Structure 1
Amino acid sequence: MAYDYGQFTKDIHKKTGINLFLYKEAQMKRRLTSLYEKKGYSNFRDFYTAIEKDRQLLNEFLDRMTINVTEFYRNEKRWAVLNEKIIPRLLNQNKNLKIWSAACSTGEEPYTIAMILSNYLPLSEISIKATDIDDNAIAKAKLGVYPERSLNEVPEAIKKKYFSQDGNFYAVSPEIKNRVTFKKQNLLADHYDPNHDLIVCRNVMIYFTEQAKEEIYHKFSEALRPGGVLFVGSTEQIFNPAKYGLETEDTFFYRKK
């Protein structure tokens, strides 16, 4: 039997626990074909054989699969709503916020959340969980060093306070890095902790099938405490939030009923 994309997805699932069937096939297949051709392979069989032997190639595959395109304060107006409206309400209900940055990619998002929270709380009282499926992205996040373009939206005062410049790169300060705990998680397969005040998951759901999206939104809703908020990306508006036990608090912010 010919080795095809379907067999590749089964082998990857066995090796990594990642189920590529839950991603849009045409989009993912195109992205991965581009990667293996760039690396000098001509089909999925040869590509998988190489992945088995080469940890670096496996990391590159994971990196390509998870599309790490992000920056600090991405869509700055939405972060202003979080800062001025959502966080004050949440803190009014509970001073010890449980916050999760889901599919955090290379760390810009959870570090942004920590910087915003520092407007309201001493850093010692801030704790954020950040998860991603990609070991490569998590390693970059823990390093906390970013190209200048990643800081385009960062307010100047925050840039001076929480970053140190080294040539064209900027390092996040240790006091912000220490507020974030990174761990690996598969949103489709792994357990979600309960009773979160805020879950931030942005610019990721567009890569999932409708069935996978529904499953994840249900799980996010269950992982929020009543009054807790899900903050999604600017192309990911939930058109029927009541289906998940949520209601719109602001554009792209959904409160658990």
Structure 2
Amino acid sequence: MDFNEFHKWVHKELGINLSAYKPEQLNRRINSLMTRVGIKTLDEYSKSIKSNPEQRQKFLDFITINVTEFFRNPELFTDLEKQIANELLPNNSSLKIWSAACSIGCEPYSLGIILDKLAPNGRHNIIATDIDDTILSRARSGEYTENEMKGINNADLSKYFKVRDDKYYVESKIKNMVTFKKHDLILDRYDTGFDLIVCRNVVIYFNNDVKQEIYKKFSNSLKRGGLLFVGATESIYNYRDYGFEKASTFIYKKI
């Protein structure tokens, strides 16, 4: 089995379309993971993924980039908070937000904390999506480790979390703002009418054709004046092609 055959097998067995990813980068990641788990061939690896639920989950986590924490790149979240206060809330006290590829939920809950501070009486709706059911289940639980909390200051920690047995649990008023759903950015249709879309540190792994299609769909999903917040390595150089203007270094406004 070569990498092309392995990619087809993953699509058939796991429903993940690896052709959307940059191939050199993707195959290096797969090789690295195989080495890490002590497997030498793709044939052997496909059998291991199929027969061993733990190996299957490791592969899904590794491929779908589930690396996250609360307020990742805090200076960028500070910038986002200003943009929400100045650009979005003056026109609409209740916001509709999409946290795409949300992983274990740190990002949508971070958005909930921001909204609770800026507009606590608003009926905000945060839709958080990911391709991985196991990850979504963890996100719904709202349970986190100390390492995932390093972006939270002490005041927010005491206000928005309960601590039990060295685990941190999101308070219900923040949890209740967020609805988690399974969604594939490549295959599934996009909802519309969003004031803000947050999609960070994911699109960078896709090839250019897929990336362009995703940015077009994000633009179509936003209201006029809505914001798109991307990752710290994901500047959109041709943002005008998608009907955006720059609101900040990593925040784009639909015009």
With the shorter chain as reference, the TM-score category is over 0.9
Q: Distance in 1 between matches of 2:49 and 2:67?
A: 23
Aligned to 1:46: 44
Aligned to 1:12: 10
Q: 2:156 aligns with which of 132, 155, 158?
A: 158
Aligned pairs for 1:124-163 (under 5 A) are 125-163=123-161
Q: CA deviation at 1:126?
A: 2.4
Q: Which moved more, 1:184-193 or 1:140-149?
A: 140-149
Aligned to 1:94: 92
Tell me which amino acid in the other structure corresponds to 1:205. Answer: V
Distance 1:123 1:132, change over 3 A: farther
Q: CA deviation at 1:35?
A: 2.5
Q: CA deviation at 1:41?
A: 2.9
Q: CA deviation at 1:71?
A: 1.0
Aligned pairs for 1:63-78 (under 5 A) are 63-78=61-76
Q: Is the 8 A contact 2:96 2:124 kept in 1?
A: no
Q: Is the 8 A contact 2:94 2:122 kept in 1?
A: no
Q: Is the 8 A contact 2:100 2:199 kept in 1?
A: yes
Q: Deviations over 1:62-102 (max 9, x none)?
A: 11111221111111121112222324421221223110000
Q: Which moved more, 1:18-27 or 1:83-92?
A: 83-92
Aligned to 2:234: 236
Aligned to 1:80: 78
Q: Distance in 1 between matches of 2:192 and 2:56?
A: 32
The SS at the match of 1:60 is helix
Unaligned 5+ residue runs, structure 1? none
- Equivalenced residues, count: 255
The SS at the match of 2:214 is helix
The SS at the match of 1:118 is helix
Distance 1:119 1:236, change over 3 A: same
Q: Is the 8 A contact 1:144 1:171 kept in 2?
A: yes
Distance 1:22 1:118, change over 3 A: same
Q: Which moved more, 1:181-190 or 1:143-152?
A: 143-152
Aligned to 2:247: 249
Q: Is the 8 A contact 2:223 2:254 kept in 1?
A: yes
Aligned to 1:174: 172
Unaligned 5+ residue runs, structure 2? none
Q: Is the 8 A contact 2:230 2:251 kept in 1?
A: yes
Q: Is the 8 A contact 1:91 1:97 kept in 2?
A: yes
Identity of aligned residues (%): 45
Q: CA deviation at 1:124?
A: 7.2
Q: Distance in 1 between matches of 2:161 and 2:43?
A: 44
The SS at the match of 1:93 is coil
Q: Distance in 2 between matches of 1:236 and 1:132?
A: 19
Q: Distance in 2 between matches of 1:13 and 1:231?
A: 29
The SS at the match of 1:239 is coil
Q: Distance in 1 between matches of 2:136 and 2:121?
A: 22
Distance 1:200 1:87, change over 3 A: farther
Q: Distance in 1 between matches of 2:111 and 2:87?
A: 15
Distance 1:212 1:58, change over 3 A: same
Aligned to 2:20: 22
| 1:60 is the counterpart of 2:58 | yes
Cα RMSD of the aligned pairs, angstroms, is: 1.7
Q: Distance in 2 between matches of 1:112 and 1:59?
A: 25
Q: Is the 8 A contact 2:247 2:253 kept in 1?
A: yes
